[in-house]
């Protein structure tokens, strides 16, 4: 452990540390929780909380956070969120508001935008926002004149929702089938470099380079030329979302397209053993990875993480390989990424322990969720504003009448304030199971990795059994019915065992 800490300190010796402060004006968000997350790595996008606060009656808040060097963060107020960069000793005065025309998402998070008061033109937030707009405009202009690529983009938008303006979150698919020529991209790059010629920021100029590099992918792209131009012999830019996106695009499905096809038996065997060095040797048979151990290891981690839920690799072996890299990798950055990947693949999975949560009951008293998790438990996450939630909560109400004496039902409201939850319960008096409220709903959803509402969990004590559980109208009753039969069998009650599970409640 001491050796890891020393390596990390040495790697960060040149990084400036300091406190960043944010003075926030959010007129649409009165008395709402404010949570500032730091992205721990740009591969898993795992976050950790670095500051919390709350807006006052006017929607104002002031928070401070320690940051190391240029730090990519997510600011969340209530259900809305946006990304920005913070610098040590930076002072930020910003207006936080919902993106106009964006409906609230099913996941309970709405993309927001920030307007900076008194921000310098060369601030990294101003530069990256301006660059992203120019990249998006270049893409949009070409898609508008290319029917095939344009319709592909429309399909991406319809499936994934409107992408946020941050280029790191733009759908990768937009770069899969471009129609623009190499000469046109070259001309665009020259114009960008002339425009930003006065910017003395190597990190930003690197972001510009890899933002343009992403435009060069397509059916006519030469992977060898792209590798030689942008990756060969060059340092890994772990903190640059454009670089990460380029790297992942170049090596997309590398494991299945190359390693698996050429060394199937050896790959499957070494992964099942969970030996990281042996797995790296198999990957290193590819020309792009044969002479760069750091890049090879990074691609190994990225590919194993991406293929974990597939049907080819041994899942236990993938986890052992990543766990080994999380503790033994020569590269401190890879230890962090591998650790986050293991967390990403195992957190909130069946068999894991439910994270501890501090919530409040309907009287405002603090409650430790662990104290309520005894025996079989069903937890429902919902919100008064969620229209579809009401469909599933009605179905859950029917299940409660039949199974409420066998299973503990717990409802958790993630509305910004408790008043909306209280009003909803007054309208539905039959939903008289235990109800709790999450005062910082953004933090709870991040901790439990909730990406949509409603969400349901089934537990035995504090151990997750079904995570997530089926919706009450789409299969949950069959699980509860089997649990009821098992309980009756254990208590020597034999009736009904031969019956088929009843049909789910009607919506």
Residue-wise pLDDT tens digits, 225-267: 999 999 999 999 999 999 999 999 999 999 999 999 999 999 9
Q: Supply the Cα-derived Rg of the chain in whole angstroms.
A: 25
Q: Is the pLDDT of residue 485 over 90?
A: no
Which of these, 166, 298, 321, lies nearest to 244 by C-alpha position?
298
Percent of the chain with pLDDT over 90: 67
SS (H, E, C) 420-461: HHHHHHHHCCCCCCEEEECCCHHHHHHHCCCCCCCEEEEEEC
Q: How high does pLDDT run on average in the chain? A: 86
* Chain centroid, CA 87 distance in Å: 23
pLDDT in tens, 333-369: 999 999 999 999 999 999 899 999 999 999 999 999 9
pLDDT at 100: 75
Q: Is the pLDDT of residue 174 over 60?
A: no
For the chain, give the longest Cα–Cα distance: 82
Which of these, 224, 233, 230, lies nearest to 208 by C-alpha position?
230
**Cα dihedral 475→477→479→485 (10° resolution):** -150
β-pair type (47-54, 434-437): unpaired
Res. 492 pLDDT band, cuts 50 70 90: very low
pLDDT in tens, 76-108: 988 788 999 999 999 999 999 988 765 544 444
What three-state secondary structure class fits 63?
strand
Compute the distance between CA of residue 488 and CA of residue 478 in angstroms, rounded to an integer. 15
What three-state secondary structure class fits 71?
strand
Q: What angle do CA 444, 41, 243 make, to 5 degrees?
A: 135
pLDDT at 407: 92
Q: How many CB atoms lie within 10 A of CB 1?
A: 6
**Cα dihedral 445→451→453→456 (10° resolution):** -80
pLDDT in tens, 258-280: 999 999 999 999 999 999 999 99
> What average pLDDT score do residues 461-484 get?
92
Provide the token pair at 231: 């990756």
* Chain centroid, CA 474 distance in Å: 26
Percent of the chain with pLDDT over 70: 83
Compute the distance between CA of residue 51 and CA of residue 80 in angstroms, rounded to an integer. 16
The pTM of the full predicted model, rounded to 2 decimals, is: 0.80
Provide the token pair at 250: 């170049």
The residue whose two tokens read 């597939």 is 310
pLDDT in tens, 131-147: 999 998 888 876 555 54
Least confident among 16-25, 185-194, 405-414, 448-457: 448-457
Residue 67 in contact with residue 20, Cβ under 8 Å?
Answer: yes
Compute the distance between CA of residue 83 and CA of residue 61 in angstroms, rounded to an integer. 17
Least confident among 151-160, 185-194, 205-214: 151-160
pLDDT at 111: 81
> What average pLDDT score do residues 426-432 get?
94
Element (H, E) at 348: none
> What average pLDDT score do residues 314-321 get?
97
Q: How many helices (H) and strands (E) does the chain have?
A: 18, 15
């Amino acid at each position: 452990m001491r050796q890891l800490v020393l390596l990390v300190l040495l790697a960060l010796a040149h990084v400036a540390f300091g406190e960043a402060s944010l003075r926030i004006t959010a007129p649409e968000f009165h008395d709402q929780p404010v949570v500032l997350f730091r992205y721990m790595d740009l591969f898993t996008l795992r976050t950790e909380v670095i500051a919390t606060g709350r807006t006052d009656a006017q929607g104002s808040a002031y928070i401070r956070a320690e940051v190391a060097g240029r730090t990519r963060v997510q600011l969340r107020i209530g259900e809305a969120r946006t990304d920005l960069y913070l610098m040590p000793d930076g002072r930020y005065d910003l207006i936080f508001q919902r993106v106009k025309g964006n409906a609230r998402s099913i996941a309970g998070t709405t993309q927001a935008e920030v307007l900076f008061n008194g921000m310098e033109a060369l601030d990294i937030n101003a530069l990256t926002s301006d660059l992203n707009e120019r990249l998006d405009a270049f893409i949009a202009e070409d898609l508008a004149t290319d029917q095939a690529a344009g319709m592909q983009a429309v399909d991406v938008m319809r499936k994934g929702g409107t992408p946020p303006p941050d280029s790191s979150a733009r759908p990768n698919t937009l770069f899969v089938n471009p129609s623009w020529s190499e000469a046109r991209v070259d001309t665009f790059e020259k114009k960008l470099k002339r425009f930003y010629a006065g910017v003395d920021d190597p990190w930003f100029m690197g972001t510009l380079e890899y933002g343009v590099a992403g435009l060069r992918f397509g059916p006519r792209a030469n992977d060898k030329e792209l590798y030689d131009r942008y990756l060969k012999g060059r340092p890994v830019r772990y903190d640059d979302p454009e670089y990460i996106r380029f790297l992942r695009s170049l090596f997309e499905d590398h494991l299945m397209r190359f390693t698996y096809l050429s060394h199937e038996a050896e790959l499957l065997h070494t992964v099942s053993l969970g030996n990281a060095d042996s797995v790296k040797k198999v990957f290193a048979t590819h020309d792009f990875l044969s002479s760069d151990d750091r890049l090879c290891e990074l691609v190994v981690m990225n590919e194993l993480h991406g293929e974990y839920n597939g049907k080819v690799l041994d899942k236990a072996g993938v986890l052992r390989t990543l766990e080994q890299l999380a503790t033994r990798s020569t590269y401190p950055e890879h230890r962090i990424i591998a650790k986050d990947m293991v967390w990403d693949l195992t957190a909130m999975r069946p068999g894991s322990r439910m994270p501890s949560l501090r919530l409040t009951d309907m009287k405002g008293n603090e409650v430790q969720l662990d104290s309520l998790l005894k025996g079989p438990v069903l937890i429902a996450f919902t919100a008064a504003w969620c229209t579809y939630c009401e469909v599933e909560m009605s179905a859950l109400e029917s299940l409660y009448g039949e199974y409420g004496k066998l299973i503990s039902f717990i409802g958790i409201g993630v509305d910004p304030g408790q008043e909306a939850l209280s009003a909803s319960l007054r309208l539905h008096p039959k939903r008289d199971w235990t109800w709790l409220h999450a005062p910082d709903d953004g933090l709870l959803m991040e901790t439990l990795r909730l990406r949509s509402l409603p969400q349901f969990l089934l537990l035995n004590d504090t151990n997750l059994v079904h995570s997530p559980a089926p919706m009450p109208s789409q299969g949950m009753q069959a699980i509860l019915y089997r649990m009821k039969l098992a309980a009756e069998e254990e208590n020597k009650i034999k009736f009904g065992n031969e019956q088929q599970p009843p049909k789910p409640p009607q919506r």
